Structure 1
Amino acid sequence: MGEFWPVPDAPAYLAGTWRAERVVRDLASGDEGRFTGTVVFEPLEDGDGLLQRESGDFTWRGVTRPAERTLRFLSGPDGTADVRFADGRFFHGLDLRSGRHIADHPCSADLYRGEFTVRDADHWRAVWRVRGPAKDLELVTEYARTPAMGG
């Protein structure tokens, strides 16, 4: 299984700044959108995890708009993390110790299934498949670490 890169401590691995390229496909209509932006993982004020701030531009049906979201990654005792929405609600767990993790998140009548894979020290991917009565989506995000600035 050389395609996955084991990560013993997910929050330590994620800390820093990443470039994000996301393709969003509506599998029912065939529409496709793109998000391009930056994702910053910085320590939470209490030091018990990371705050993820994602910002960039999302283009859907020819219209580009600014997009952003915030998540909290609470550190687990074993290198895992609990991912929470900005308001504190549980989103999913994250265990990258094998280099791969699958997470489910039920949301009303929809099911979000995420697959997280780590390729190396500077590249990882998240694929979300969303299915429900009114949704049939696939979101594929490629992350690449950006070099630290300063000197």
Structure 2
Amino acid sequence: MGGFWPVPDVLAYLAGDWRTERTVRDLASGAEGEFSGVTAFGRLAGGGLLSQESGTFVWQGVPRPAERTLRFLPTATPGTADVRFADGRPFHDLDLSSGRHVADHPCAADLYRGEFTALDTDHWRTVWRVGGPAKDLVLTTEYARVG
């Protein structure tokens, strides 16, 4: 799995279930955590996908259930998506037509910079670098298609 894999339609590509493995590294303290679970991308009425992530997050040896819901909505540019939080607030855009995309999301005093890479038909990755006055994190997530 080397290089980028162009994706002409990100919503069609993401539809379905993905095994999800994430590492979280706090570069300031050296603390590490990991998430293991599944992300299901189901169809939304009116177009787009509802992304529902659920699993277990282990931080400093303590496991706890974790979940996240995002909406991936079609845009005016065919094959791309507008990613929003569950409550409708904007998160980032997503265009994998080249196989790679970088998006920024300012959050209060912090900046989240995400790099999205399609590796092949059944594998993709995100790497979020989070920087700010109180945060210095790297979150790396590997997705593998289920089934």
TM over 0.5: yes
Give the superposition deviation at 1:45. Answer: 2.0
SS of equivalent to 2:11 = helix
Give the superposition deviation at 1:115. Answer: 0.0
Structure-1 separation of matches of 2:3 and 2:58: 31
TM-score, length of structure 1 as denominator length: 0.95
Question: Structure 2: which amino acid aligns with 1:54?
Answer: E
Hey, what does 1:71 align to over in structure 2?
70
Hey, what does 1:59 align to over in structure 2?
58
Moved over 6 A (4+): none
RMSD: 0.7
Hey, what does 1:86 align to over in structure 2?
86
Hey, what does 1:121 align to over in structure 2?
121
The answer for unaligned runs of 5 or more in structure 1 is: none
Structure-2 separation of matches of 1:12 and 1:90: 21
Question: Structure 2: which amino acid aligns with 1:73?
Answer: F
Structure-2 separation of matches of 1:102 and 1:25: 20
Structure-2 separation of matches of 1:98 and 1:68: 29
Structure-1 separation of matches of 2:116 and 2:75: 17
The answer for unaligned runs of 5 or more in structure 2 is: none
**How many matched pairs?**
145
Hey, what does 1:105 align to over in structure 2?
105
Instruction: Percent identity, please.
Output: 72
Give the superposition deviation at 1:76. Answer: 1.9
